[in-house]
A and B are shown apart, each in its own frame.
Chain A
Amino acid sequence: MAVNAKGAVAAGPDPLGLDGRAGSAVPIQLLTPEGERVGHPDYPLEVSAAEVQALYRDLVLVRRIDFEAIALQRQGELGIWASLLGQEAAQVGSARALGPRDMAFPTYREHGVAWCRGLDPARLLELFRGVSHGGWDPKAHGLHLYTIVIGVQALHATGYAMGIQRDGAVGEDGEAAIAYFGDGATSQGDVNEAFIWASVTNAPVVFFCQNNQWAISEPLERQSRVPLYQRAYGFGFPGIRVDGNDVLACLAVTRKAMQAAREGQGPTLIEAFTYRMGAHTTTDDPTRYRLAAELESWKLKDPIERVKAYLVRSQLADREFFERVDAEADQMGARVRKSCLEMPDPAPLAIFENIYAEPNALIDAEREQFAAYLDSFTGEEAAR
Chain B
Amino acid sequence: MTVLTLSRALNEGLRKALESDPKVLILGEDVGKLGGVFRVTDGLQKDFGEARVVDTPLAESGIVGTAIGLALRGYRPVCEIQFDGFVYPAFDQIVSQLAHMRLRSLGNLSLPVVIRIPFGGGIGAVEHHSESPEALFAHTPGLRVVACGDPADAYVMIQQSIRCDDPLIFFEPKRRYWDKAEVDMTGGLAAAVPLDKARTLVSGTDVTVLAYGPMVRTCAEAAVAAAADGRSVEVIDLRSLAPLDTEAIFASVRRTGRCVVVHEAAISGGIGAEIAARVTEECFYHLEAPVLRVCGYSTPYPPSRLEEHYLPDLDRVLDGVDRTFGY
A residues apposed to B, CB below 8 Å: 3, 5-8, 103, 132-139, 144-145, 147, 149, 152, 154-167, 177, 189-190, 193-194, 196-197, 200, 353-358, 360-363
Contact A164 B73 (CB under 8 A): yes
Please report the C-alpha to C-alpha distance between residue A138 and residue B165 in the assembled complex, in whole angstroms.
Answer: 18
- Verify A355–B142 contact, CB threshold 8 A: yes
- Residues of chain B at interface, number, CB under 8 A: 52
- Whether a CB of chain A sits under 8 angstroms from the CB of B19 is no
Stretch among B240-248, B283-291, B311-319 lining the A interface: B240-248
Q: Are A133 and B100 in contact (CB under 8 A)?
A: yes
**B103–A355 CB distance below 8 A:** yes
Contact B105 A134 (CB under 8 A): yes
How near does chain B come to A202, taking the closest CB pair, in angstroms? 13
- Knowing that A137-B105, A194-B62 touch, tell me 6 more A-B residue pairs with CB under 8 angstroms: A133-B100, A134-B104, A159-B70, A357-B102, A361-B243, A362-B246
B67–A159 CB distance below 8 A: yes
Among B47-55, B150-158, B229-237, the stretch in contact with A: B47-55
Q: Kindly identify which residue among A160, A189, A355 contacts B102, using a CB–CB cutoff of 8 Å.
A: A355
Docked Cα-Cα span, A189 to B247, in Å, equals: 43
Among the listed stretches B91-99, B203-211, B212-220, which one makes contact with chain A, having 4 or more residues with CB under 8 Å of it?
A: B91-99
Q: B57, A163: Cβ atoms under 8 Å? A: no
B66, B73, B100, B109: the one within 8 Å of A197 (CB) = B66
Instruction: Kindly state the separation between the CA atoms of A353 and B106 in the bound complex, as whole angstroms.
Output: 8
Name B159-193 residues within 8 Å CB distance of A. Answer: 164-166
Which B residues are in CB contact (< 8 Å) with A165? 51
B141 & A157 in contact (Cβ 8 Å cutoff) = no
Interchain CB contact (< 8 A) of B103 among A6, A147, A152, A354:
A354
Interface pair B62/A7, CB less than 8 Å apart? no
Bound-state Cα–Cα, A152 to B141, Å: 19
Given contacts A136-B108, A149-B96, contact A158 B69 (CB under 8 A): yes
CB B177 to nearest CB in A, in angstroms, measures: 27
With contacts A149-B96, A356-B142, A356-B144 known, is A158 near B164, CB below 8 A? no
A156→B105 contact, CB < 8 A: no
A164–B73 CA distance with the chains assembled, in angstroms: 7
The answer to whether B104 and A145 touch across the interface, beta carbons within 8 angstroms, is: yes
Specify the chain B residue showing the minimal Cβ separation from A139: B108
The answer to whether B74 has its CB under 8 Å from any CB of chain A is yes
Taking the nearest CB of chain B, how far is it from the CB of A189, in angstroms?
6
B44 at the interface (CB under 8 A from A): no
Return chain B residues, CB-CB under 8 Å to A362: 242-244, 246
Contact flag A5-B62 (CB < 8 Å), given A155-B93, A358-B166: no
B12 within 8 A of partner (CB): no
Residues of B near A134 (CB, < 8 A) are: 104-106
Q: List 13 A-B contacts (CB under 8 A).
A: A135-B104, A135-B105, A149-B96, A155-B65, A156-B66, A159-B69, A166-B51, A194-B66, A200-B57, A354-B105, A355-B141, A357-B102, A363-B243
Question: What B residues does A361 contact at CB under 8 A?
Answer: 196, 243, 245-247
Residue of A nearest to B102 (CB): A354
Contact B102 A155 (CB under 8 A): no
For the complex, give the distance between the alpha carbons of A273 and B143 in Å: 39
Cβ of B243 and Cβ of A149 under 8 Å apart? no
Query: When chains A and B are docked, how far (Å) is the Cα of A272 from the Cα of B117?
Result: 40
| Chain A contacts for B59, CB-based, 8 A | 189, 193, 196
- Give the docked Cα–Cα distance between A375 and B25 (Å): 46
Cβ of B61 within 8 Å of any chain A Cβ, yes or no, is yes
Of chain A, the residue at the smallest CB distance from B89 is: A189
Q: How far is the CB of B47 from chain A (nearest CB, A)?
A: 12
Report if A6-B66 is in contact (Cβ < 8 Å); known contacts: A135-B105, A193-B59. Answer: no
CB distance from B54 to the nearest CB of A (A): 7
Interface centre among A7, A165, A194 (most CB of B within 10 A): A7
Query: Does B306 interact with chain A (Cβ within 8 Å)?
Result: no
Q: Flag if A197 contacts B57 (CB, 8 Å).
A: yes
Assembled-state Cα–Cα distance A71/B27 (Å): 47
Q: Would B103 and A167 count as touching, CB distance under 8 A?
A: no
Q: Is B5 part of the contact surface with A, judged by Cβ < 8 Å?
A: no
**Given known A-B contacts A138-B105, A193-B59, A152 and B246 have beta carbons under 8 A apart:** no
Pair A132/B106 contact, Cβ less than 8 Å: yes
Closest chain A CB from B245 CB (angstroms): 8
Which B residues are CB-close (under 8 A) to A5?
A: 49, 51
- For B243, list chain A residues within 8 Å (CB): 360-363
Which residue of chain A has its CB nearest to the CB of B50?
A7
* Pairwise interchain contact B69-A152, C-beta atoms closer than 8 A: no
A209 to B241, CA, bound (A): 41
Q: In the complex, are the beta carbons of A356 and B102 less than 8 A apart?
A: yes
Q: Is the CB of A155 within 8 A of B69?
A: yes
Given contacts A193-B65, A356-B142, A357-B110, contact A133 B103 (CB under 8 A): yes
Q: Which 9 A-B pairs have the closest CB atoms?
A: A159-B69, A155-B65, A163-B73, A7-B51, A7-B50, A159-B66, A193-B62, A357-B165, A362-B243
Quick check: is B68 within 8 A (CB to CB) of the other chain?
Answer: yes
> Contact between B108 and A156 (Cβ–Cβ < 8 Å)?
no
- Smallest beta-carbon distance B258→chain A, Å: 24
Instruction: Give chain A residues whose Cβ lies under 8 Å from the Cβ of B68.
Output: 155-156, 159
Residue of A nearest to B100 (CB): A133
Residues of A within 8 A of B75 (CB): 163, 166
Are the C-beta atoms of B66 and A7 separated by less than 8 Å?
no
Complex interface: chain A residues within 8 A of B247 (CB): 361
A136 CB, nearest partner CB in chain B, Å: 7
| CB of B72 closer than 8 Å to a CB of A | yes
- Residues of chain A within 8 A of B72, CB atoms compared: 103, 138, 144, 156, 159-160, 163
Name the one of B62, B110, B164 contacting A190, with C-beta atoms under 8 angstroms: B62
| B93 lies within 8 A of A190 (CB) | yes
Of the candidates B57, B70, B166, B242, the one whose C-beta lies within 8 Å of that of A162 is B70
- Chain B: minimal CB distance from A375 (Å): 21
Q: Are B196 and A190 in contact, with the CB atoms below 8 A?
A: no
Alpha-carbon gap, A369 to B50, bound state (A): 49
**A358 near B165: Cβ-Cβ < 8 Å:** yes
